[in-house]
Amino acid sequence: MKFLKEERNISFKGISLILDQKNYKTIRTNKIIKPNNLDSTYRKGKVRENRINRDFESQIEDFEFKILSFCIFV
């Protein structure tokens, strides 16, 4: 779906028709996949993709290192 939307610039209605021709159905109701379902899935996928691909700057500040020695005799 992402390829068809972004690379081929096909509308969600067009993608819905393509999936219907290939006999793709919804999992729960076994009906055709409607354009609004594709839109929702596409938007959620973009949010997930942005969340996974975000970058963070590493910062280490005020680092303190202490060595403690303990002797236990039994």
- The parent domain of residue 34 ranges over 2-49
| 64 within some domain | no
| 56 within some domain | no
pLDDT at 69 over 80: no
- The pTM of the full predicted model, rounded to 2 decimals, is 0.66
Task: Provide the percentage of residues in the chain whose pLDDT is more than 90.
Answer: 65
Task: Give residue-wise pLDDT tens across range 6-36.
Answer: 999 999 999 999 999 999 999 999 999 999 9
Number of domains in the chain: 1
| 58 within some domain | no
Cβ(10)–Cβ(4) under 8 Å? yes
**pLDDT at res. 74:** 64
Task: Provide CB contacts within 8 A for 15, sequence distance 6+.
Answer: 1, 4, 5, 35, 38
